[in-house]
Amino acid sequence: MTDYYEILGVPRDATPEQIKKAYRKLAREHHPDVAGADAASEERFKDVSRAYDVLSNPEKRRAYDLGADPASPGGGMGGGFGFQDIFETFFGAATGGPSARGPVPRARRGQDALVRIDLDLAEVTFGTHREVPVDTAVVCPTCNGTCCRPGTSPRTCEVCGGRGSVQRVARSFLGQVMTTQPCPACHGFGTVIPEPCTDCSGEGRVRARRTLQVDVPAGVDTGTRIKLTGQGETGPAGGPAGDVYLEVHERKHDTFLRRGDDLHATVSVPMTAAALGTVLTLDTLDGAREVDLRPGTQPAQIVALKGLGVGHLHTGGRGDLMVHVDVEVPTSLDDEQSELLRRLATLRGEERPEARLAAANPGVFSKLRDKLAGR
């Protein structure tokens, strides 16, 4: 590369004033009107002018100091040559560039799909089988994924000879280098489709509705995702299918409230039944079950029915059904009922009961119990 500093006779750290002063001196010496119209003087004057044009411009000088020659026909970078070309040239094999991988496969993997599925409490408790319709891409039945009209086939690209890439020579501060780029004719595939399939427009796939058969395990919850491998859309040119993710959304139940794998329900019983004890029949997800209330059952007391909750997703078994007792206090009594209660209060020494303050700051489980009981 031409040394412009040497032509002007200045050091590489010369100031703009020094460069201008040196140029004026040399320009006067070699100007054709002063030195004569000989070829050597004219060429020398052109070199001096070219050197000053580069070194007097901050951007050109910076590029020149980095190894480029802004005064050259290609700007020193070979007509658009850049650092990306350098990496593709020298590190293509390491980065998987076109020179390393050859033609790009036309068939590519399809995208994944996310589908919401709504389930009832009974379905997430016991598990269920569902048929889920999805709109997706499937292999074109006409061309079978070849992208070509039946009876035709892909043709080797005449521009790149099937390599999928083309090479060109570029100039850089490293000298002349060979760069590799995807073939503009075949877009790197190495082949062209002379007669595309009319049904899929040369994509090798078409849109269609499919029905997926899904076994939903017990214990799933809102937000749980079920992966169906290879059930997503088919890739271009009949490429491998992506996956389908079913995202569960559990519908709210009218009676039961789910907490983890346990179910919670509230039953209301008369004050007399809570005091004397009774057996209730409760409709559960497993059918009718008896709930034994012992004499003296207190408001907000919980009776656990083991194994009647939601199935455990990973470990098997089931949670429990937690029955919260709500004791109903009568608000309307006739004279006979009032007299009976007064006699009971007298027998129990409760005509004028003393007020007892409840303990403050109930624990976490007490708070949850009160909330579920509607307090």
Ligand-binding annotation for 186, yes or no, is yes
Whose tokens are 């709930």? That residue is 291
3-state secondary structure of 84: helix
DSSP percent split of the chain into helix, strand, coil, nearest 5: 25, 30, 45
Decide: residue 65, CB within 10 A, 0-12 exposed, 13-18 middle, 19+ buried: exposed
The contacts of residue 68 (CB under 8 Å, 6+ apart) are 75, 76, 77, 172, 173
Amino acid at 144: N
147 assigned binding-site residue: no
Contact between 147 and 197 (Cβ < 8 Å)? yes
The half-sphere exposure of 127 on its side-chain side, counting CA atoms within 13 A, is 13
Phi, psi of 104 (to 5 degrees): -80, 135
Q: Is 148 annotated as a binding residue?
A: no
Burial class (CB in 10 A: 0-12, 13-18, 19+), 204: buried
Cα-flanking dihedrals φ and ψ of residue 272, to 5°? Answer: -65, -40
Residue 183 assigned as binding residue: yes
* Residue closest to 322 by CA, chosen among 260, 278, 375, 231: 260
> Residue 373: which of 269, 299, 304, 272 has the closest Cα?
299
Asked if 157 and 131 count as a contact pair (C-beta separation under 8 A), the reply is no
150: which 2 tokens? 């039946």
Cβ(242)–Cβ(112) below 8 Å: yes
Tokens, residue 211: 């029905």
What residue type is assigned to position 15 of the chain? T
| SS3 per-residue string spanning 134-165 | EEEEEECCCCCCCCECCCCCCEECCCCCCCCE
> Binding site for Zn(2+): residue ranges?
140, 143, 157, 160, 183, 186, 197, 200
> Binding site: residue ranges?
140, 143, 157, 160, 183, 186, 197, 200
